[in-house]
Amino acid sequence: MKKYLCFAAFVLLSPSFSSYVAAADTATNPSSATTSASSCEDKAVDKNGKKLVGAAKASFLKKCEANAKPAPSCEDKAVDKNGKKLAGAAKESFMKKCEANAKSAK
């Protein structure tokens, strides 16, 4: 057990691991979860080209899949403080502001 913990700590603290995490941050957002899981599996390699295993792989996959999720749309964000969907003028106002913010962020 100690061997695995030491190995995981070594991999996570190595400078090459951070470059793989940075590469995962810039990955495109695939549309399906199956595609993102397989692409993250393909990217889970160390600096020598060997596949990651154990805790290092689990950590890498968790970060990769979190970065692959698409951002919620303005329609999805249009809810009140109680979690109910907005309607009418409140929804129109929210959508207008949200879309303007999305355009300015690009």
Do 56 and 78 sit in the same domain of this protein? no
CA angle 50, 11, 1 (to 5 degrees): 100
CA–CA gap between residue 11 and residue 68 (Å, rounded):
22
- Nearest-Å Rg of the Cα atoms of the chain is 19
| pLDDT for the residue 57 | 93
Write out the chain's pLDDT in tens, 106 residues: 566 655 665 555 665 554 555 444 444 444 445 555 678 888 899 999 999 999 999 999 999 988 887 778 898 899 999 999 999 999 999 999 999 988 887 6
Do 62 and 88 sit in the same domain of this protein? no
| pLDDT for the residue 12 | 59
| pLDDT for the residue 27 | 46
Taken as a whole, the chain contains a residue count of 106
Domain count, the chain: 2
| pLDDT for the residue 79 | 92
| pLDDT for the residue 105 | 73
CA angle 86, 88, 89 (to 5 degrees): 100
Do 10 and 62 sit in the same domain of this protein? yes
* Whole-number Cα distances in Å, 40 to 4, 37, 91: 22, 5, 37
Do 79 and 61 sit in the same domain of this protein? no
Do 62 and 33 sit in the same domain of this protein? yes
| Nearest in space to 68 (alpha carbons), one of 38, 28, 106 | 28
86 is in which domain, residue-wise? 74-105
